[in-house]
A and B are shown apart, each in its own frame.
Chain A
Amino acid sequence: MTPILRRLVAAATLSVTALCAQPVAAADTIKIAYIDPFSGPFASGGDEFLKIFKVLFDRINAKGGVLGKQLEIVPFDSKLQPAEALIALKSVTDQNIPFVMHCTGSNVGAALIDGVAKHNARNPDNRVIYLNCGALATELTNEKCDFWQFRFAGSVEMRAATRIRSLPKEITKVYLLNQDYLFGQSVQADTKKWLAALRPDIQIVGDELMPFGKVQDFSSYVTKIKASGAQSIVTGNYNRDLNLLIKAAVDDGLNIRFDTYLAHLIGGPTAIGATGEGRLTSIMEFSGNVPVDLKVPEAEKFVTDWREHHNTDFSTLNFMTMLDMLTQAITKAGGTDPLKVALALEGMQVKDFVGQDNTMRKDDHQLLMPYYAGVFTKDVKYDSEKTGFGWKTQYSASAADLTLPTTCKMKRPAS
């Protein structure tokens, strides 16, 4: 063995020893896995959510953590693919992490519900709770509901109810355009359901599904929408699929409202800009102007602090509520045993950061929470993503307003 080689071997041995030693040192934290896209076209979402989570985790840790332990987030890349997310879930369970958060993609969410349920049935000593913070398709807490999933974001149906209630009276013709996958289809179905229930005067002049993330040129959709005579496009599209649609409509000179579900998502306001003024609306968990309206100085200070350090908005108040509930449940359960924590979460009631009631419904594990419909305008205290335009609340629905019936028939674990 040459001296160099010997030194290399020695170094390798040392680093292996160091690696083995690490988990022991880190054992005093409570780990929470986070599965979302960190690569591919939707990486921007995962990346920004991770930044938000880090701030929220630091906030809890600065107050002393939970049961004297610090919280630690462990990110995994889902690439927005169900198969990749299941591989990530395997790593999560291999590392004995008891909680897994996931916020993007209903198709991925459906796979995770299934994967977690199967894993927990087979490995009762290594269970995991799925904290769903953004897989929104309504069926995930209806037909597909599961004891091990808790959804901390309004279902599509809750959003649809808010969406339709907030439509102005003068609208009589709408065009529905949605992405052709689980979430878009869910938006399509629930929008129609609530239009029929609440606004029978509104006529649906177009109802269409488009390939998810595949369309490069929306001008022909705009032509079709124009020909239909619609006053408003009601759409669940987001990211590129929304930005390009609005761009094409503006280029065409189409004077129409965009009543969206997700225009406020990170990057949306920047991409849309001034073209959305006064006619773009979205359904939100929170915006910087909500604490102003509700007069909650503490929350407003959080918003201004956030704006000092970030170019993006803090709009995911439900993430904060989720972590508050989780830490309360861990405290109540006296540890991280997933079954005890899950039972503690069921039926839990908290007030969120702006003092509104939130309830984790026991029947389907859906968080009942308020929603705000906002319009994109200059007339606000806090703008969005430094565009000069921000979300002004036009309509708000409380958790009680959004307590909708569920069809969930939940199977509970025996022990």
Chain B
Amino acid sequence: MEIFVISLLNGLVYGMLLFMLASGLTLIFSMMGVLNFAHASIYMIGAYLAFQVSRVVGFFPALIIAPLLCGAIGAAIEIWGLRKVHHNGHIAELLFTFGLVFIVQRGVQMTWGMLPMPYRVPALLDFPLFQIYGANFPAYRAFMLLISGGMLLSTWLLLKKTRVGLIIQAALTHPNMVSALGHNVPMVFTTVFAGGCLLAGLAGVIGGNYQTTEPGMAEAMGPIVFVVVVFGGLGSLAGCFIASILMGMIQTFAVVIDYSVADLLRPLGLALKADNLLMEVLTVPIARIGALLPFAMMILILLFRPRGLMGTRDT
């Protein structure tokens, strides 16, 4: 029971971090049709900028400044990069963001070096908030939940309840009509891209000291975020949210399950012989393959429901 409750909380925190990253990506993806490979790189830049800024002005101003800088970087990428290659089609855009990953990776390594940065949780939030079955729940994790929850709410309000959101949603499905009505569609695209990068930057600020700030962090987070976006379905913030939480839960719960497929089969009277070819695969405990489960689930959903959980069109 105690493991269940603690894992639930941990899964929620990790899921919300995933959501902060994935929401920006899914917005950009559904809006512009660009699968932004460099999204996790922006997350990394966010963490590094937050580290740098927090050394000068402290953590809380950095919490605002670093995402804004990331948003500005995003806008610059869109205006001077993506827009230029746009008329060459989606493949060109894809390759552009793919190249960006390497440039950012190398740039970060050249600026900050290869070693992890001593970017730590601020002293103000570095205490156990409460105890649950003898385990501390750090205040910083609660803070992460708060930030990501607030972000979810404000993004949802922005998209559903404001005029800006209305135009963005319209441009999503009928860009030509929106353009004909006198709205500056390229400008909307820039805003969405910058907004997505801002969210990634925010995730970087709070993820950078929750995990470690090092040049490998983009590569570590990149694939799982894509899984979330594909699993949740294109253009659906709700689907993205459900997928993020689900992936967070799966990864934390898988670790505490020490059973293997063979253990499941045993009560059914299917005792496996040791010379079975599949024995090796079937006796691996779930805990050992937990990190691979999201990818397996992505393959399943692509096979059986290509539009994702709540997507409106096929991937």
Contacts and interface: CB of A to CB of B under 8 A. Distances in A.
Interface of A: 39-44, 47-48, 180, 208-211, 213-217, 219-224, 226-227, 239-240, 243-244, 247, 251-254, 266-267, 270-271, 273, 311-312, 385
Contact of B3 (A215, A224, A240, A270): A224
Nearest to B6: A223
A95 B239 CA distance: 54
B52 interface: no
26 contacts: A41-B220, A43-B216, A44-B114, A44-B214, A44-B216, A208-B288, A210-B291, A214-B291, A215-B255, A215-B291, A216-B211, A216-B251, A217-B10, A217-B248, A217-B251, A219-B6, A219-B13, A220-B7, A223-B3, A227-B2, A239-B216, A253-B128, A266-B115, A267-B116, A270-B116, A271-B212
Contacts of B122: none
A217 B14 contact: yes
A181 to B, nearest CB: 12
Given A39-B105, A209-B288, A266-B115, 19 more contacts: A40-B216, A43-B109, A43-B216, A44-B214, A47-B114, A214-B220, A214-B292, A216-B224, A217-B10, A217-B248, A219-B13, A221-B255, A223-B256, A224-B255, A243-B212, A251-B138, A270-B115, A270-B118, A271-B214
B135 interface: yes
Interface in B241-268: 248, 251-253, 255-256
Contacts of A267: 114-116, 214
A48 B115 CA distance: 9
Contacts of B289: 211
B292 A211 contact: yes
B170 to A, nearest CB: 36
B114 A211 contact: no
Given A215-B291, A217-B10, A226 B135 contact: yes
A410 to B, nearest CB: 30
Contact of A243 (B114, B116, B248): B116
B6 A42 contact: no
B215 interface: yes
Contact of A253 (B136, B141, B214): B136
A253 B128 CA distance: 8
Nearest to A223: B6
B290 interface: yes
Contact of A40 (B11, B115, B219): B219
Contacts of A266: 115
B220 A216 contact: yes
Contacts of A251: 136, 138, 140-141
Contacts of B115: 44, 48, 266-267, 270, 311-312, 385
A216 B14 contact: yes
B221 interface: yes
A41 B216 contact: yes
B159 interface: no
B134 A226 contact: yes
Contacts of B215: 41, 43-44
Contact of B256 (A48, A220, A239): A220
Contact of A220 (B221, B224, B253): B253
A223 B11 CA distance: 12
A240 B219 contact: no
A231 to B, nearest CB: 16
B217 to A, nearest CB: 8
Contact of A219 (B113, B128, B134, B252): B252
B224 A223 contact: no
B287 interface: yes
A244 B217 CA distance: 12
B86 interface: no
B141 A211 contact: no
A337 B120 CA distance: 52
Q: How large is the interface on B (under 10, 10 to 19, 20 to 34, 35 or more residues)?
A: 35 or more
Interface string B93-131: 000000000000100010001111110100000001001
A366 B258 CA distance: 37
A210 B288 contact: yes
A380 to B, nearest CB: 19
Nearest to B292: A211
A47 B128 CA distance: 37
A244 B211 contact: yes
B134 A180 contact: no
Contacts of B105: 39
A227 B5 CA distance: 13
Contacts of B214: 44, 240, 267, 271
B252 A252 contact: no
B291 A211 contact: yes
Nearest to B139: A251
A143 B97 CA distance: 45
Interface in B287-311: 287-292
Among B6, B11, B14, B288, chain A packs the most CB atoms within 10 A around the CB of: B6
A219 B220 CA distance: 17
A67 to B, nearest CB: 35
A42 B116 CA distance: 11
A385 B289 CA distance: 35
Contacts of B220: 41, 213-214, 216, 240
Nearest to A226: B135
A224 B219 contact: no
Contacts of A244: 211-212
Contacts of B7: 220, 223
Contacts of A311: 115
Interface in B75-107: 105
Contacts of A215: 251, 255, 290-291
Contacts of A254: 135
Interface string B1-37: 0110011001101100000000000000000000000
Contacts of A223: 3, 6-7, 10, 135, 256
A14 B253 CA distance: 64
Contacts of A41: 215-216, 219-220
A213 B135 CA distance: 25
A39 B118 CA distance: 22
Contacts of B116: 243, 267, 270-271
Contacts of B134: 226
Contacts of A243: 116, 212
A251 B255 CA distance: 18
A180 B288 contact: yes
B222 to A, nearest CB: 11
B103 to A, nearest CB: 13
Contacts of A271: 116, 118, 212, 214
A262 to B, nearest CB: 15
